[in-house]
Structure formats: structure tokens, C-alpha cells
Amino acid sequence: MPSPEHLTIKNISVRDAVATDHAAVLALNNSAVPHVNELSTAAFAWIVAHAAYFRVAEDPAGLLGFVIALGPGHDYWSLNYQWFTARGGEFLYLDRIVVAEHARGAGVGRALYDDIDRFATGRWPRITLEVNLRPPNPGSLAFHERLGFRRVGVREEEHGAKAVALMERETGRSISSSSSKPDRGGPSS
């Protein structure tokens, strides 16, 4: 098997998620814990029902990843979403993005970020998200920094046992041109 930095998946397509994707997306999400929070079927259904953006990446062999984002104005239990809401302004909150382990470093994350940026441009001035600092997720943090996301805060919980870097990026900037480095580590935020 080629090393991740030399892996490229051809024929990646990004499309709207449909109901028949939900079980596979939920399973992929829950396989990425602790980099994303585990979701129950009911919590996943709530997020999907309120999502402004829910897309999947796939190739002819199947699901490679997904991204779900919410606009402002929801009564969402996520403390990170609430942090951005309290800060004010318009934003598209990237609630979760997960790339299947076998597809990391192959351009899937970059394809999803290009797609969400195209969607958000002209609708919201910025995309917001968080990346775990504790437990650490250095691959995701480096990936997001290469894509031009900047830290705008840190939020801790459980007496410092958990911490996230709160990040944002202006829309309308091509993700692919932000860095020519491969997306090693891949996203899970």
C-alpha cells in the first residue's frame, strides 16, 4: 500500500447527502471519536434536520467522508457553536467533517473544503470550526492552519481535561490554492 503522502483517490465526487447515506455517515462519525463527538441516532437526526450544508465525498467504491455545517440562529447544544454565536456575526459553523481512515491524505478533505467554501461564499462571510487540543489532534490542527484557518480562541471543559482551538476563515478563498502540501493527517473536527 502506498504511503499516505503518495495516495491519491481518483474520481472523488462530492454530492448532497441523502437519507440512504445516513447510517453510513453516522457510523463513520462514531468511528472518529474522540476527534469528533459520538452521536446518537436522535442527535444525528437533529443536526441533519438543521444543517445548512450536508455533503458526502465518495468514489466508485463508496463513502470517503462527509461534512455537516449549520448557520447561526439555532438552539444547538454544542458549546463550541454557542461560543461562536455569543461572539456575534454571521457564520457557517462546520460542525463535523470526517474522512475515512483509508482515504486520509488523498485529497478528500481538500475536496470537501473546496466544496463548502464555494457553498458558503456569498452567503456567510466566514466558516467557523473547532479542532481538539486535548485530546490532541495535531494532524487536523496542521491541516486547518495550512488551509488558512486561524485561531480566534480556546475553550476548555472538564477542568481542562478537554480543550479545543476555535478557528475561522473568510469565505471566498480557494482552499486548494491555500497550500500545495498534501493533506496528511486529514480532517476530523
Tell me the backbone φ, ψ of residue 62, rounded to 5 degrees: 140, -160
pLDDT at 59: 93
Instruction: Fold for 4-178, please state it.
Output: Aminopeptidase (3.40.630)
- Of 18, 99, 103, 27, the C-alpha closest to 54 is 18
* Residue 136: other Cβ atoms inside 10 A: 13
What does the pLDDT profile of the chain (189 residues) look like in tens digits? 444 444 556 789 999 999 999 999 999 999 999 888 899 999 999 999 999 999 999 999 999 999 999 999 999 999 999 999 999 999 999 999 999 999 998 999 999 999 999 999 999 999 999 999 998 989 889 999 999 999 999 999 999 889 999 999 999 876 654 444 434 344 555
pTM of the model: 0.86
The average confidence (pLDDT) of the chain is: 89
Q: Provide the 3-class DSSP secondary structure of residue 44.
A: helix
Residue ranges per structural domain of the chain: 4-178
Contact 187, 96 (CB under 8 A): no
In Å, how far are 7, 62, 95, 103 from 12, measured between CA atoms?
13, 10, 22, 11
